[in-house]
Amino acid sequence: MTFTQDQFVASSIVKFGKLNEYIQEKLVSDFSAIKGNMLMAEGLRKYIQENLETLRAKQKIEILDIGPAIGALSTLFALQTLNEFGLMEKAQIHLFDVSAKVIEQTLNCKFFFPDSIINPKLKNPIHQKLRQAKGEVGSAEKLPWKDEKFDIVLAGFLFSHIHDSVKPLVSKEMERVSKKGGFIGIAENTNTKTAAAISSKISQTRLEKLFKNKKIAFKSRNQKDMAYTICIEK
């Protein structure tokens, strides 16, 4: 299927993801979506390696994906990474988005599965995890969970879609709902000319300052990449 530019922009998180083919078009049009999530998965892999025994001892690994867009690409990468360590079965997924459409289509697996970057053998178990997931609709500056609820908190390309005045509130909420010793992973664009609707690009330096009192366990350093990540251990 071929989309016009207006149709693609309408499929972004800002416009609530109206097209079933969102992920497919995103991967074709915006490689930074892949690169950013790959970098975030690299940070998660390092975190798991360093905390493997603790994670293995848990009955559940609670994961929150904020602003996932249709298909929850950050969650797909996280599940694939957990699977490398035999931990995917423990994952309990929570999706939080401003759009009920995003939540509904993702929980019902009504999206293109990106089997060029996610192991196609994991499609069925990942779909099962998504169908068992819990979804909430709301605004990220006030998350509806108690303190220290989640082991892993993900935000793939969230901060560039929210207003500057809200960014500090969202970062504090992410910290609040993360467990002590938990993982916070964030990926963002460095390229302002992507097809997706970007409302407020944020630099890596500025994003790090929002988490200045936390340990940055991993971050990307290649200035040529179209995306970057910072991974925080609370």
Q: Is the pLDDT of residue 66 over 90?
A: yes
Q: Which of 180, 194, 222 is nearest to 51 (CA)?
A: 180
Q: Is the pLDDT of residue 199 over 50?
A: yes
- Mean of per-residue pLDDT scores for the chain: 85
Quick count: other Cβ atoms within 10 Å of Cβ 180? 8
Range from 52-61, 170-179, 184-193, 200-209 carrying the lowest mean pLDDT: 184-193
Q: How far is CA 18 from CA 12, 14, 70, 99, 191, in A?
A: 8, 10, 9, 10, 24
Count Cβ neighbours within 10 Å for each residue of 5-24 and write b for 16 or more, e otherwise.
Answer: eeebebbbbbbbbebebbbb
Each residue's pLDDT tens digit, 79-134: 999 999 999 999 999 999 998 989 999 999 998 888 889 999 999 999 999 999 99
Rounded Cα gap, residues 219 and 216, in angstroms: 7
Q: What is the pLDDT of residue 33?
A: 80
Domains contained in the chain, CATH given: 5-233 (3.40.50.150)
Quick count: other Cβ atoms within 10 Å of Cβ 42? 17
- Report field, pTM of the whole predicted structure over 0.95: no
**Consecutive H or E run containing 63:** strand 61-66
- Angle between helix 73-84 and helix 31-50 axes, rounded to 10 deg: 40
- Confidence band, pLDDT 50/70/90 cuts, at residue 67: very high
48, 81 Cβ separation under 8 angstroms? yes
176, 147 Cβ separation under 8 angstroms? yes
Range from 6-10, 124-128, 159-163, 194-198 carrying the lowest mean pLDDT: 6-10
- Confidence band, pLDDT 50/70/90 cuts, at residue 221: low
Q: What is the pLDDT of residue 61?
A: 98
Q: What is the pLDDT of residue 195?
A: 42
What percentage of residues in the chain have a pLDDT greater than 90? 63
Coil, strand or helix at 215: strand
